Amino acid sequence: MLSTYARIENGVEVEQVVLRPDTGLPEGDWRPVVVEGLNFDRSSYRESGRETVIEPTRVVRRIVVEHAPPTQEDYSAAIQAHIEATAQSRSYGSSALLASYVTSTVPSWAAEAQAFVAWRDAVWLAAYGLLGAVNAGETVAPPVTGLIEVLPVVNWPPS
């Protein structure tokens, strides 16, 4: 296995070598190089830079990561999951099943479905409005949970 070493002069890295462990180091202040940050969740974070820190016994190369803004697909999936969870909270198997009761002959089921469909439409309109503002540079992209928190709340009819 090969190891990387950096030569330090006056607190600054001036040279780097890659050696086998059984090879002696040349003269000078050589420190092992350690790389940190290679394993990060690439679905949630992205590399935003690299930094080198010279420590007393080693040189650390770090990959700097930042939270990656959600994609349009992330938002859509979260909104749809929120809609599905809302339908299931009323004991319907899915949002499509709940919406299908909009023409039910049972007035309470039809009212519940109508309230749900109106709410679902309002949710998507609000989300499209906010995401349009993000795409236009008028506001920053919220985290997915932040978007869900600002969406309209369903107003169920009285039971």
Each residue's pLDDT tens digit, 33-63:
999 988 887 777 888 899 999 999 999 999 9
pLDDT score at 21? 77
Per-residue pLDDT for 140 more than 80? Answer: yes
Amino acid at residue number 110: A
- Taking the model in full, what pTM does it have? 0.63
DSSP secondary structure of 84-131: HHHHHTTT-S-HHHHHHGGG-SSHHHHHHHHHHHHHHHHHHHHHHHHH
Q: Are 78 and 63 in the same domain?
A: no
Q: Are 58 and 107 in the same domain?
A: no
Q: How far, rounded to the nearest angstrom, does the alpha carbon of residue 71 sit from its chain's CA centroid?
A: 8
Q: Are 76 and 132 in the same domain?
A: yes
DSSP secondary structure of 16-34: EEEE-TTSPPPSSEEEEEE
| Sheet of 45-54, strands arranged across | 12-19, 3-9, 29-36, 59-67, 45-54
Comparing 44 with 73, the larger pLDDT belongs to 73
pLDDT score at 18? 94
Each residue's pLDDT tens digit, 86-122:
999 999 999 999 999 999 999 999 999 999 999 999 9
Residue 158 in domain: no
Last residue of a domain, one of 67, 91, 113: 67
